[in-house]
């Protein structure tokens, strides 16, 4: 095998272990070299797996009315989403640690298989209870998809070179957000809702075949591996409690109800117990020492805040466009294009600059600032705002997210040793997931409260049937003019409240970005693609 590893096929990836002597002394200023062809093939397979995880919820959302019509169980509709979210969030850190212990390839392939099994079972469900249970199985696999993608990319490509692939990842996200509802509607109308789940099979099978054939990572020594079962159980209970609080609070139960208070108490007790266990476990699920690194902790915070803002925006912008601007459900998805395209282009530019210069601190600052400005502008929208104006506002927000989406993961991974790449990736993913749960719940509660108050004030008792409704353009057209205008004004007011809160939250991320320390990114030479590769972090200065 050539010491430079410039062969094709298996040697490109597995042979990186033979180049460890090169990676131990990374050249921090050397220009990034092109990646071998097999690495690019692996990246394509990873992007397909990422698309699986992101596309699923977007497709299912448009199929849900049809599913409820056939299976019934409208009262349990929210659990179809909640079961998936709970399983994904709770399993995310565990998948990351298993990858560190047993090797990423096998663990990642297992997560894909579990996701596909859940997809098949969900498509075969005969009632709502079965669908909820099978969605939990699907979510369990989904927890390992995103973590596996990020951790394997972290192994294959040095942080210095990883920036140029950010546009690819942002593109996958934009494709899922735009294409998901369109594909879901088409599949449901022509093939039936069950194919909304079965569509995962060809994509998943393709990813399995490509990864099995091309990705070759040396096996881990499993003799010393010990799974922290107690820590995993406590973390699962804690995360489950948090997600249930954010899901049920203000909707199923009042925020001050006994159920919510009990869940908060259980969640706090479980997480405190988890922290104690992590200080004593031989192989902790989430090693606390990674949070001693300032950059890693800051990226976790910024990731949480970005998730809070982003998923809130994706939820409320289509609602505003349909209810106030009169867009159809399909068009409201297309009207998100300014935000998504801006995010993709900016992410690509930021990645290229990072690859060429090795500098990145300016991007979290710029991203945080643009997010604050974009959310403040969106908060100014009213019943007279044109689609062009709102599109410009969305583009500003999208630019902010583009600077942050992948940079946060890149810096987080650069802040830990290679042996902790999996838990670093899973922790960063978990904080973003929890941020999205909090964002949707808190911004949603504020939005609903404002809409109800405005409707009661403007239309009196006649507005009661509309206070909890989310009406599309067709339904609004059937209302009396006075009632329609009152509802549009109420939605506009609710949107203002939600985005004002989002802007305030984004300010925290903007401030946190100033404390990021510019630590040279590992790179310049080929990165070790092996789970068993030597730790190169000790050769690179780390932040305090």
Amino acid 74: pLDDT: 59
Amino acid 416: pLDDT: 83
Amino acid 530: pLDDT: 34
pLDDT at 541 over 60: no
| Dist. CA 322–CA 329, nearest whole Å | 7
Assigned token pair, 130: 């079965």
Question: pLDDT-derived band of residue 264, with 50, 70 and 90 as boundaries?
Answer: very high
List C-alpha distances in Å: 46 to 9, 11, 402: 17, 19, 20
**Per-residue pLDDT tens digits for 365-374:** 999 999 999 9
Q: Tokens 């039936």 sit at which residue?
A: 192
Amino acid 62: pLDDT: 64
Assigned token pair, 42: 């692996």
Assigned token pair, 540: 């690179």
8 Å CB contact between 296 and 415:
yes
pLDDT at 252 over 80: no
pLDDT at 181 over 90: no
| Dist. CA 182–CA 2, nearest whole Å | 48
416 phi and psi, to 5 degrees? -125, 165
| Dist. CA 41–CA 206, nearest whole Å | 12
Amino acid 163: pLDDT: 65
8 Å CB contact between 158 and 26:
yes
Choice between 62 and 496, residue whose per-residue pLDDT is larger: 496
List C-alpha distances in Å: 163 to 190, 403, 410: 40, 11, 8
Collapsing DSSP states into helix, strand and coil, what is residue 75?
A: helix
pLDDT at 94 over 80: yes
Amino acid 329: pLDDT: 60
Instruction: Name the average pLDDT for the chain.
Output: 77
Choice between 223 and 490, residue whose per-residue pLDDT is larger: 490
Q: What is the DSSP string of 138-154?
A: HHHHHHHHHHHHHHHHH
User: How far from the centroid of its chain's Cα atoms is residue 25's Cα?
Assistant: 33
DSSP single-letter state for residue 218: P
- Neighbouring residues of 407: CB distance < 8 A, sequence distance ≥ 6: 166, 350, 354, 360, 363, 364, 367
CATH code linked to domain 10-216+283-532? 1.20.1250.20
8 Å CB contact between 37 and 8:
yes
| Dist. CA 271–CA 132, nearest whole Å | 26
Give mean pLDDT, residues 189-193: 79
| Dist. CA 132–CA 21, nearest whole Å | 50
8 Å CB contact between 7 and 16:
no
pLDDT at 540 over 60: no
Q: Tokens 């030479």 sit at which residue?
A: 525
Burial zone of 40 (CB within 10 Å; 0-12 exposed, 13-18 middle, 19+ buried): middle
What is the percentage of the chain residues whose pLDDT exceeds 90?
17
Give mean pLDDT, residues 455-480: 58
Choice between 476 and 129, residue whose per-residue pLDDT is larger: 129
Collapsing DSSP states into helix, strand and coil, what is residue 508?
A: helix
Which residue, among 293, 251, 300, has the nearest Cα to 426 in the 3D structure?
300
Assigned token pair, 26: 């990374």
8 Å CB contact between 226 and 283:
yes
Question: pLDDT-derived band of residue 456, with 50, 70 and 90 as boundaries?
Answer: confident
pLDDT at 534 over 50: no
Choice between 305 and 224, residue whose per-residue pLDDT is larger: 305
Number of CB atoms found within 10 A of residue 84's CB: 25
**Per-residue pLDDT tens digits for 107-154:** 999 999 999 999 999 989 888 888 888 998 998 998 888 888 888 887
Q: Enumerate the domain spans of the chain.
A: 10-216+283-532, 228-282
Give mean pLDDT, residues 281-286: 84
Collapsing DSSP states into helix, strand and coil, what is residue 223?
A: helix
Choice between 56 and 219, residue whose per-residue pLDDT is larger: 56
Which residue, among 280, 294, 402, 283, has the nearest Cα to 348 in the 3D structure?
402
| Dist. CA 46–CA 214, nearest whole Å | 11
List C-alpha distances in Å: 416 to 228, 293, 439, 498: 20, 8, 28, 36
In this structure, the dihedral spanned by the alpha carbons of residues 209, 210, 213 and 216, taken in order and rounded to 10 degrees, is -120
Q: Tokens 């399983």 sit at which residue?
A: 87
Widest Cα–Cα separation across the chain: 79
Question: pLDDT-derived band of residue 51, with 50, 70 and 90 as boundaries?
Answer: confident
Which residues, listed in sequence order, are joined to residue 253 by a DSSP beta bridge? 249
Radius of gyration of the chain (CA): 23
8 Å CB contact between 169 and 409:
no
If phi over 0 gives left and psi between -120 and 50 gives alpha, with beta otherwise, what is residue 144?
A: alpha
| Dist. CA 138–CA 87, nearest whole Å | 8
| Dist. CA 73–CA 52, nearest whole Å | 27
| Dist. CA 371–CA 508, nearest whole Å | 11
22 phi and psi, to 5 degrees? -75, -40
pLDDT at 360 over 60: yes
**Per-residue pLDDT tens digits for 194-216:** 888 888 899 889 889 888 888 87
Rounded to 5°, the CA angle 290-292-295 comes to 80
Collapsing DSSP states into helix, strand and coil, what is residue 410?
A: helix
């Amino acid at each position: 095998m050539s010491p430079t590893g410039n062969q094709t096929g298996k040697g490109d990836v597995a042979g990186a272990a033979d180049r460890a002597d090169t990676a131990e002394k990374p050249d921090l200023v050397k220009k990034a070299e092109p990646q071998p062809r097999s690495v690019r093939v692996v990246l394509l397979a990873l992007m397909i797996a990422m698309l699986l995880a992101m596309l699923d919820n977007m497709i299912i959302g448009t199929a849900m009315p049809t599913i409820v019509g056939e299976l019934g169980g409208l009262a349990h509709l929210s659990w179809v989403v909640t079961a998936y979210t709970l399983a994904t969030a709770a399993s995310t850190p565990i998948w990351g640690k298993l990858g560190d212990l047993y090797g990423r390839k096998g663990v990642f392939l297992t997560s894909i298989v579990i996701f596909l099994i859940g997809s098949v079972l969900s498509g075969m469900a005969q009632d709502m209870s079965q669908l909820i249970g099978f969605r939990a199985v699907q979510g369990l696999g989904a927890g390992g998809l995103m973590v596996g993608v990020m951790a394997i990319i972290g192994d294959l490509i040095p942080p210095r070179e990883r920036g140029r692939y950010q546009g690819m990842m942002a593109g996958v996200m934009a494709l899922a957000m735009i294409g998901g509802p369109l594909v879901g509607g088409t599949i449901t109308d022509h093939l039936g809702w069950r194919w909304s789940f079965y569509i995962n099979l060809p994509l998943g099978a393709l990813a399995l075949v490509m990864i099995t054939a091309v990705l070759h990572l040396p096996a881990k020594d499993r003799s010393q591996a010990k799974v922290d079962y107690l820590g995993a159980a406590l973390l699962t209970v804690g995360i489950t409690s948090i997600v249930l609080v954010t899901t049920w609070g203000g909707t199923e139960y009042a925020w001050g109800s006994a159920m919510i208070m009990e869940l908060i108490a259980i969640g706090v007790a479980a997480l405190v117990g988890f922290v104690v266990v992590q200080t004593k476990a031989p192989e902790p699920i989430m090693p606390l020492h990674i949070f001693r690194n300032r950059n890693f902790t800051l990226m976790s915070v910024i990731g949480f805040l970005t998730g809070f803002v982003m998923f809130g925006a994706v939820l409320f912008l289509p609602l505003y466009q349909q209810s106030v601007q009169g867009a159809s459900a399909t068009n409201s998805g297309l009207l998100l294009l300014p935000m998504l395209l801006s995010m993709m282009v900016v992410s690509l530019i930021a990645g290229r600059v990072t690859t060429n210069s090795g500098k990145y601190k300016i991007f979290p600052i710029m991203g945080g600032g643009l997010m604050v400005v974009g959310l403040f502008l969106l908060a100014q929208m009213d019943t007279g705002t044109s689609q062009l104006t709102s599109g410009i506002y969305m583009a500003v927000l999208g630019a902010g997210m583009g600077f942050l989406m992948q940079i946060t993961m890149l810096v987080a991974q650069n802040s830990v040793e290679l042996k902790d790449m999996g838990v670093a990736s899973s922790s960063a993913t978990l904080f973003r997931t929890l941020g999205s749960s909090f964002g949707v719940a808190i911004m949603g509660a504020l939005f609903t409260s404002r809409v109800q108050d405005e409707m009661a004030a403007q239309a009196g008792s006649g507005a009661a049937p509309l206070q909890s409704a989310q009406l599309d353009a067709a339904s609004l057209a059937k209302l009396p003019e006075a009632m329609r205008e009152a509802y549009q004004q109420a939605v506009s007011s609710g949107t203002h409240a939600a985005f004002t809160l989002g802007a305030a939250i984004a300010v925290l991320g903007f401030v946190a970005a100033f404390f990021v320390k510019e630590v040279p990114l590992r790179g310049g030479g080929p990165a070790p693609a092996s789970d068993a590769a030597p730790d190169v972090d000790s050769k690179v200065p780390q932040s305090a």
